[in-house]
Amino acid sequence: MRFQQVLLGLIVAFGARKVHCQTVTLTPPTVMTSPGVDVTLHCTFQGTWLFGYNLQWLKDGAPIAGKSGTVPQPPFNNGQFVLTFNAGVDIQYTLNITGIQAANAGIYRCELTSSSTVISSGEIPVTVDIDECSDAALNDCAANATCTNTVGSYTCACVEGYSGNGTYCEDIDECTTTNVTTCAAEATCTNSPGSYSCVCNLGYSGNGSVCTDINECLVSSQNDCAANATCTNSLGSYTCACEPGFTGNGTFCEDVDECQNSMLHNCDINAQCTNNQGSFSCACVSGYTGNGTTCIDTNECLDANLNNCAPNADCTNTPGNFTCTCRVGFNGDGTLCTDVDECLDAAMNACADGATCTNTEGSYSCACQNGFTGNGLACTDIDECDYPATNDCADDATCTNVPGGYTCACNSGFGGNGTVCSDIDECQDPNLNACNGRACNNTAGSYVCSCPDGFTWSGTLCEDINECQDLLLNDCEDYEYTDCMNTNGSFTCVCQEGTVEGNSTGNTTQCIKVTAWPPPRMHEAQWVIAVAIGVYMAVVLLLAVIVSAFLNTKKQKRKNHNLRHYSHSNQAFDGHVY
């Protein structure tokens, strides 16, 4: 205590030389600060400090407890007030407010008092700013505005992306405002409250401000084109088109069966159209050759390897195929042909009755049998008896033709086998002749019994010769108006009706036609004429008989000649038939 008093005395003494009045000065004149700030208030005493003086800080007129003192000394009141000397004269009281808050705001007053009398004082308005922005109830800034605290107040400013006065903020649609966004042309601008976003459109990649076209066709997972479609990239997109041979929208492609519509394929009419995935193929059908679009008929009949016709069948080419037909003389389906034995059935061959049918491969042949002539289809019996060269009958035998042959029989009066005949002398055996005691004269192949004139041997007896049947045996016709009348062993000439007998010579009587009655005797000249006429008629009759005999002989010779030259085309004559 004593130390303090001494110190105070020193101060007073020292100050008495410098200070003649007592004043207090406060700095800063005002304080306006924000909460939490450390604030220092200065109260500077100038003058002579007298004993009993007191300095005190008041807030809003109320002393601050523990913040006043008579003898300032450091530290003071726990360091809240600091007494310092200024140039060794001034006394300064400092009020430190650490971390000032709103409750610390007010009028701070520093009084120099003595015995409760205020000698000098000063005030420092201390304003602790209220941060209206920290409490929405303390400001009217719009929700989309920024509240900026100021000392003693605040300001409202619409945030970026909004427009207004701060207390009312309206979203700015940057996407509709020209030159506001940075979105690429290939991006979609999406407005959002107070802002916007840029997203590259489908088909593009990037940050929205720069967008690069995506080639979706390079990666199958980025396109939905069908497997049978062609993907074509385009700016920001792609297209799918079904490949040729498929139909659909590109994302779904279905195979087109071109074979169902002739307008969709070019296969030849003789080709088989086969549908494939997305296409088709043409193949010429069996029987045709070509590339399928052009097919040419194959003539299988020209190459045995291309047909299965039997060797004895005829191959007939048809469009795209062939047929096999067994040839005449064969039976079967054409691929197998069996020879037909036409000789087994007369209805199947045309051989004549007198021919031999010989079966051949696919046919037959006809050959006239011995004793027949012809081509086998027509066989004519050879009359071997007509030609001595074709038979070996003896001269004294009778050749009898039979179908395909002949027989030889010795003539009556001859004995033998027909090819060799010996004359039988009937006169040697009474049993072989009928002469009955008459003279028997053996002849070749017969015998003759002697008969009177006008009779002839018949073989068993003497028979009257009818001279009237043979002009050579009577001369009645040599005379005009005369007829022959046979008599037993002779004949006589009689005058025809209307005539009369004239001169007679032997059996011949000249007849004269009666023109008056009684007829006159013929004149000698008339007789000559009548005789001439008779002779003429006899000659004519004789010639007729001779010609007739000649013709019969000639006919027999022709038959014999034909038989000598008999031949057969297939089979030579080899014998005769008995």
Could you tell me which of 32, 25, 39 has the C-alpha nearest to residue 93? 25
Residue 45 lies in a domain: yes
Residue 364 lies in a domain: no
Higher pLDDT, 258 or 500: 258
Question: Are 48 and 150 contained in the same domain?
Answer: no
Min mean pLDDT across 223-227, 360-364, 467-471, 564-568 is at 564-568
Question: Are 24 and 41 contained in the same domain?
Answer: yes
CA distances from 217 to 65, 103, 199, 222 (A): 86, 73, 21, 7
Distance CA 310, CA 313 (A): 5
**Band of residue 387 on the pLDDT scale cut at 50, 70, 90:** confident
Question: Are 125 and 140 contained in the same domain?
Answer: no
Task: Count CB neighbours of 210 within 10 A.
Answer: 14
pLDDT at 561: 38
Q: Where are the alpha helices (DSSP H) in 408-567?
A: 524-564
Residue 58 lies in a domain: yes
Number of domains within the chain = 5
pLDDT at 564: 35
**Which residue in this structure is represented by tokens 């997972």?**
221
HSE (side-chain half, CA atoms, 13 Å) at 88: 6
User: pTM of whole model > 0.75?
Assistant: no
Domain residues for the domain of 79 are 2-129
Residue 371 lies in a domain: no
Does 77 have pLDDT greater than 80?
Answer: no
Q: What is the CA radius of gyration of the chain?
A: 90
Contact status, residue 24 vs residue 43, Cβ threshold 8 Å: yes
Question: Are 542 and 501 contained in the same domain?
Answer: yes
Distance CA 48, CA 70 (A): 14
pLDDT at 525: 54
Does 239 have pLDDT greater than 90?
Answer: yes
Question: Are 6 and 124 contained in the same domain?
Answer: yes
Question: Are 291 and 317 contained in the same domain?
Answer: no
* CATH number of the domain encompassing residue 310: 2.10.25.10
Distance CA 118, CA 130 (A): 33
Question: Are 501 and 524 contained in the same domain?
Answer: yes
**Band of residue 524 on the pLDDT scale cut at 50, 70, 90:** low
Min mean pLDDT across 89-98, 115-124, 184-193, 197-206 is at 89-98
Question: Are 43 and 98 contained in the same domain?
Answer: yes
Does 544 have pLDDT greater than 60?
Answer: yes
Does 468 have pLDDT greater than 80?
Answer: yes
Distance CA 302, CA 320 (A): 14
pLDDT at 11: 40
**Which residue in this structure is represented by tokens 């037993």?**
488
Does 377 have pLDDT greater than 80?
Answer: yes
Contact status, residue 32 vs residue 105, Cβ threshold 8 Å: no
Question: Are 23 and 124 contained in the same domain?
Answer: yes
Distance CA 474, CA 490 (A): 9
pLDDT at 85: 37
Instruction: Using a pLDDT cut of 70, give the percent of the chain over it.
Output: 83
Does 530 have pLDDT greater than 70?
Answer: no
What mean pLDDT is predicted for residues 336-360? 92
Higher pLDDT, 576 or 65: 65
Residue 507 lies in a domain: yes
Question: Are 150 and 56 contained in the same domain?
Answer: no
| 114 CA to centre of own chain | 134
Taking only the tens place, the pLDDT of each residue in 283-309 is 999 889 999 999 999 999 999 999 999
Instruction: Using a pLDDT cut of 90, give the percent of the chain over it.
Output: 40
Question: Are 28 and 145 contained in the same domain?
Answer: no
Question: Are 13 and 80 contained in the same domain?
Answer: yes
Residue 506 lies in a domain: yes
Contact status, residue 50 vs residue 91, Cβ threshold 8 Å: no
Q: Label residue 232 exposed, middle or buried (CB < 10 Å: 0-12, 13-18, 19+).
A: middle
CA distances from 234 to 222, 237, 240, 244, 442 (A): 13, 5, 11, 21, 145
Residue 360 lies in a domain: no
**Band of residue 516 on the pLDDT scale cut at 50, 70, 90:** low
Question: Number of helices and strands (H, E) in the chain?
Answer: 2, 45
| 419 CA to centre of own chain | 86
**What one-character DSSP code corresponds to residue 336?**
S
Could you tell me which of 445, 318, 358, 392 has the C-alpha nearest to residue 563? 392
Residues in contact with 342: Cβ distance below 8 Å, sequence separation at least 6, in sequence order:
329, 348, 349, 357, 359, 363, 364
Contact status, residue 132 vs residue 36, Cβ threshold 8 Å: no
Paired tokens of 151: 């000392």
Phi, psi torsion values for 431, nearest 5 degrees = -75, -15
Q: What dihedral angle (degrees, nearest 10) is formed by the CA atoms of 60, 63, 69, 73?
A: -50
What mean pLDDT is predicted for residues 100-111? 89
Does 527 have pLDDT greater than 60?
Answer: no
Final residue belonging to a domain, choices 76, 110, 129: 129
Residue 195 lies in a domain: no
